[in-house]
Amino acid sequence: MASLSHLPPILFLVFLYTSINGDSSDQSPITACPSFDCGGVGITISYPFWHQSQQFEHCGYPGFNISCSDQDRMIYLSSDLYPITDINYSNKSLTLAHTRIRPADCPKVPHDTITLDSTPSLFNSTLGNKMLHFFYNCTLYPPSLPHIACLQYGTKQSYVFMEGATPEFDWHRYCESAVSALVSDEAVYGDLVKGFGQALQGGFKLIWKQPDGACQSCEASGGFCGYNNGLHRNFFCICANKRHSTNCYGQGALTTVRPEPHYIYVAIGALIFGGSVIAATVFYFTQKNKVGSYKPV
């Protein structure tokens, strides 16, 4: 191979820039969405869920970001964090536990949990769940109704009813608070007044679905859906060898490889240096020709 010092300056600069930046059309392979377990022994979490602190490209559905706190798996839904107790990828179901419900034998729900109307758009809470309605510290109540004995405070009584089975009464007027909570169908059996604590401890289930048509096309082609900054408009399809704007069938390939800023500075410096070399060379040969043409009298 010929020495680089014999190359014309402009070709040397082209060679230098290409060596630094490489071929911009050559895109390095992308690692498909890795799984994780929040550092503990238990549930392995994988696509379409993603680690909000480690997977910066948001490899997964918007809103499916998982936070790991003290080896607990938490998902943020409807303005609250819910611990994940189970994930079934075959039927796309997610089992969540209620937060801040203590003690286990006689818990009190502090506020409304996810309701059938407030479930995020990518989840369906109407399958496999029932809604419980709690009325706490009621000063007036219908006679002969079974109340929650462990929550009785003096003459104030508390009640729980299944969705659609709440007796006609002005509960909101005579009770200090009223909250609702989702529970799994399997957890509701027997005497609800005595077994509501166990029902709450069983948590509830959510069914997830694909976010949009673009994601469906991507997954059908064997890819993974990614969303920069967790926004639907920033969708891209993660394939085995590169990213695509639509799917992995070779359509809409994205060009994402760009030179790093410090590489650009090196290239600019090389161009300035090369320009100086060319100017000095031209000046040298110009002066040499003038001296060669001079003849003393």
The beta-strand segments (E) located in 89-143 are 93-96, 123-124, 129-138
Q: Tell me what pLDDT residue 279 has.
A: 56
Give me 217's structure tokens: 């096309």
The backbone region for 138, taken as left when phi is positive above 0, alpha when psi lies in -120 to 50, beta otherwise, is beta
Return the pLDDT at 28. 39
Residue 234: CB atoms within 10 Å: 12
C-alpha span between 238 and 268 (Å, rounded): 33
Asked if residue 88 lies in contact with residue 104, where contact means CB atoms within 8 angstroms, the answer is: no
- The pTM of this model reads 0.67
Q: Quote the CA–CA distance of 192 and 148 in Å, as a whole number.
A: 10
3-state secondary structure 16-45: HHHHHHCCCCCCCCCCCCCCECCCCCCCCE
DSSP-derived letter for residue 126 is S
Q: What residue segments make up the domains of the chain, in order of their start?
A: 4-26+258-291, 33-92+209-256, 102-206
pLDDT tens for the chain, 297 residues long, are 444 444 444 444 444 443 333 333 334 345 567 888 887 667 889 999 988 877 656 788 888 889 887 778 889 887 788 899 999 999 999 999 887 777 777 888 888 777 655 566 788 887 888 899 999 999 999 998 999 999 999 999 999 999 899 999 999 999 999 999 999 888 777 789 988 998 898 889 999 988 888 899 999 999 999 887 766 778 889 888 688 888 888 655 554 433 334 434 434 454 455 555 455 554 555 555 544 443 443
Contacts of 238 (CB under 8 A, 6+ apart): 30, 32, 33, 57, 59, 218, 223, 224, 225, 226
CA dist 65 and 61 (Å) reads 8
pLDDT at 167: 95
Q: What is the rounded distance in angstroms from the CA atom of residue 36 to the CA atom of residue 209? A: 21
